[in-house]
Amino acid sequence: MKIEILSLIPGVFADVFDESILGAAKRSGLIDITIHNFRDFGEGRHKTVDDAPFGGGPGMLLKPGPLVSAIRNLRDSGPIAPVIGLTPQGVPLTQNMAKELACHERLILVCGRYEGFDERILPAFDVQISIGDYVLTGGEFAAMVIVDAVSRMIPGTVGCEASVKEDSFYDGALDHPQFTRPATWEKSSVPSVLLDGHHAKIIAWRRGEALARTAAKRPDHFRRLPLSQDDRGLLQTAFCPQSESNEIRRKIKV
């Protein structure tokens, strides 16, 4: 996959994509990341890309001319790619969205700055994405999050594909509790089911605990989960959720 990022401060990405799993994926050719400075499309001798908002107000806005020119130039320079504007007004990033984005041959990410985008820039985006209900100084860190989340969905990026499928939110539920050695630490012991070597029982226990944890910690996600009859049975024997709204009680009930 080719990922291209438009930013006013390309230096902030230095070394971020060269370490750990992403670095290995780059070196193996699974992902190719290029950072472009859209100030190259700025206006006049000073390469201006921003100006004060009409009607007054604090801060500066990104001008439509330079940024849209940069976007159009990138669109025309390679295979068809969705152009993604990174803004708090965008749709929330989810695991399913990361899976969908990973299916594209190429992505273009546009990082905002200052007080945001002139409204006339927005039609140049195919989608606007937010990584959360908070405001950053710019879209660069959001771009890093999206690159990381999407890259994990590309086969071969993570050495063990099964570990990706067990990640939180991969199938809508949170991840199940996990333990490693020692089996007992500070009077706290690993659940015996994980030590017995009975693979089917371990799978069932993990599924039940994942569902119960989702109900307790993220009831908003739990409400959207399609539960099988087996799932409802597992929930009866798993940890009892603390956030038991009537709706969740009805869904768990066998």
Q: What amino acid positions are annotated as catalytic residues?
A: 88, 115, 152, 167
Burial bucket for residue 249 (CB in 10 Å: 0-12, 13-18, 19+): exposed
Residue 156: how many other CB atoms lie within 10 Å = 12
CB half-sphere exposure, 167, CA atoms < 13 A: 16
Burial bucket for residue 152 (CB in 10 Å: 0-12, 13-18, 19+): buried
Q: DSSP letter at 52?
A: P
> What is the layout of strands, in order, in the sheet containing 106-111?
32-37, 2-7, 106-111, 83-92, 127-130
